[in-house]
């Protein structure tokens, strides 16, 4: 089957019809400084072993930091955190300037107000097209009540009828 010709603008619009959650993936640079990037390509891979994936653009400002890191933290953003998502998506921004965060037990940056997070060790990396797919093994995670930030049709949105996460606050190591 021959591929149909299309523009990247048309393809982006078509892919934008799939609603996704929004995350900020964080790590520490070699000098210990925190770094992070907005990501909406987060997905579950496996429950046993507990694996997730996300995609990092080869042209991302934080590419070298994440390429060299052995672990990262996926912060699942709440509906009221669109400004944080925009901040971490802005090229040249001082990533943690004005952002409230605290380190995890292992020192990874956890953004305050998120509805959950997953601390992962890098299991594998696959270069495909203009991205690297990073597969992480979940080492610990936490879920908190709240509504997720959603990205749909190139815009941030909130799920109008989404129930808050059930079960309250839960942490697993």
> In tens digits, what is the pLDDT along the chain, a chain of 173 residues?
556 667 777 777 776 556 778 999 999 999 999 999 999 889 999 999 999 999 999 888 899 899 889 999 999 999 999 999 999 998 877 889 999 999 999 999 999 999 999 999 999 999 999 999 999 999 999 998 889 998 877 888 877 766 555 544 556 66
Tokens 């009540």 correspond to 145
Angle at 134 between CA 131 and CA 139, to 5 degrees: 160
- The hierarchical CATH code for the domain 20-146 is 2.30.110.10
What's this model's pTM, rounded to 2 decimal places?
0.86
Peptide bond just before 49 cis, omega within 30 deg: yes
Sign of CA dihedral 142, 148, 152, 156: negative
Q: Where are the domains of the chain?
A: 20-146
């Amino acid at each position: 089957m021959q591929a149909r010709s299309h523009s990247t603008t048309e393809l982006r619009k078509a892919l934008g019809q799939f609603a996704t959650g929004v995350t900020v993936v964080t790590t520490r640079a070699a000098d210990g400084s925190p770094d992070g990037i907005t990501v909406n390509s987060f997905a579950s891979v496996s429950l046993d072993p507990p694996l997730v994936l996300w995609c990092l653009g080869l042209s991302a400002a934080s590419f070298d930091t994440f390429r060299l890191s052995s672990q990262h933290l996926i912060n699942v953003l709440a509906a009221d955190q669109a400004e944080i998502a925009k901040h971490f998506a802005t090229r040249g921004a001082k990533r943690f300037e004005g952002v409230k965060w605290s380190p995890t037990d292992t020192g990874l940056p956890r953004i305050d107000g998120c509805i959950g997070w997953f601390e992962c060790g890098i299991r594998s990396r696959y270069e495909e097209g203009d991205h690297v797919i990073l597969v992480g093994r979940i080492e610990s995670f936490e879920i908190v009540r709240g509504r997720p930030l959603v990205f749909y049709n190139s815009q941030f949105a909130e799920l109008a009828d989404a129930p808050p996460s059930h079960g309250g606050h839960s942490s697993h190591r």
